[in-house]
Amino acid sequence: MLIKKPDDIKPSEITSESVYQERRRFLGMAAAGTALLASGGILLPQHGFSATPDLKSLGKLQKSPFSTGEELSTFEEITTYNNFYEFGIFKDDPVRKADLLKTDPWSVEIAGEAEVTGTFNLEDILKPHPLEERIYRLRCVEAWSMVVPWVGFPLGELIKRFKPTSKAKYVAFTTLYDPTQFPGQNYKTLKWPYVEGLRIDEAMHPLTILAVGLYGKEMPNQNGAPIRLVVPWKYGFKSIKSIVKITFSEQQPQTSWTISNASEYGFYSNVNPAVDHPRWSQKRERRIGEFLKRETLPFNGYADQVASLYSGMDLKKHY
Ligand SMILES: Nc1nc2c(c(=O)[nH]1)N[C@H]1C(S)=C(S)[C@@H](COP(=O)(O)O)O[C@H]1N2
Ligand SMILES: [Mo]
């Protein structure tokens, strides 16, 4: 079933009246003929969205040896089927409302356990880092996946510049909080602002990138402009969008989805077909645009590179 009536929504699925309001709005839209196609249990926006404006090309890019050779998801798939709850809970909310977000000027605060801290213009954050193309699988916790040609650079290279101290065991990330630009923040779907975190060794791992674009162009707002995290071996929700703050900390930081439902979304959230989500299996996934499901791979196929980060850890306990 795709669209639930408000009284079908279990408390475990959602927290508050706000989503009730969101669903009412959605049902109203659907009734008015706003097109959403149901396809194999996944809501796909109808073709022809034009909310993605002309995006600046990012020029010549290095090709990364870390890229997968798999077939890319299309630009349209990547930019019209999104999770970005700041714009709303439906897959087409981000593309419909993307224009509300203003990404220029943008600054990023670096805080906590580091020798260099402060607030920096995005240009100054980016300047020393050559951009490269990284084609990664993205596996959402909802059991769908895409292949995205990100443009970015290793987060570890940025971290080194700010000289974290020996107390910096974790890195926390915060998304912009501004309900005038992010209408979804008027609803209590999550505790705002959206926050995420990594262990410092995960953050320093060469596969972890900050992305500023995709398909060779600047990042579309709906994908997390102007700068977002991409951690390809973890469920998509770890890859936080529209970052305004990076904090080095000694304690494990809070994360939005764990605050919302700790039994369903853990801190690690490594892609793991052997650990089901309490409400659905994680054994298989649907590649957006395909009909048959495919097997989900441990660490989303990046086990050779990252499994050693977790040696000795019980990944059923640390889900
Ligand atoms: N700030 C913020 N970041 C976010 C989300 C969000 O709702 N807010 N959704 C996450 C989820 S669940 C996924 S699957 C990915 C989706 O990224 P994409 O829309 O670029 O495919 O973004 C993640 N980052
Ligand atoms: Mo996700």
By most ligand atoms within 8 Å of CB, the mutation choice from 55, 74, 81, 83 for ligand 1 is 83
Report the atom number in ligand 1 closest to the C-alpha of 242: 1
- Ligand 1 atom index nearest CA of 94: 19
pLDDT of residue 53: 81
Two tokens, residue 39? 């396809």
Judged by DSSP in three states, 24 sits in helix
CATH of domain 11-310: 3.90.420.10
Query: Does the structure show a pLDDT above 80 at 146?
Result: yes
222-244 pLDDT tens trace: 999 999 999 999 999 999 999 99
Residue to probe by mutation, ligand 1, list 237, 258, 286, most atoms within 8 Å of CB: 237
The C-alpha atoms of residue 226 and residue 241 are separated, in whole angstroms, by 8
Token readout for 286 is 């649907």
- What residue ranges do the domains of the chain occupy? 11-310
**pLDDT > 60? residue 197:** yes
Q: Is residue 144 left, alpha or beta, with left meaning phi > 0 and alpha meaning psi from -120 to 50?
A: beta
Give residue 78's pLDDT: 98
Q: What is the mean pLDDT of residues 130-156?
A: 98
pTM of the entire structure?
A: 0.87
CA of 159 to the centre of ligand 1 (A): 22
Q: What percent of the chain has pLDDT over 90?
A: 83
Q: Is 28 helix (H, G, I), strand (E, B) or coil?
A: helix
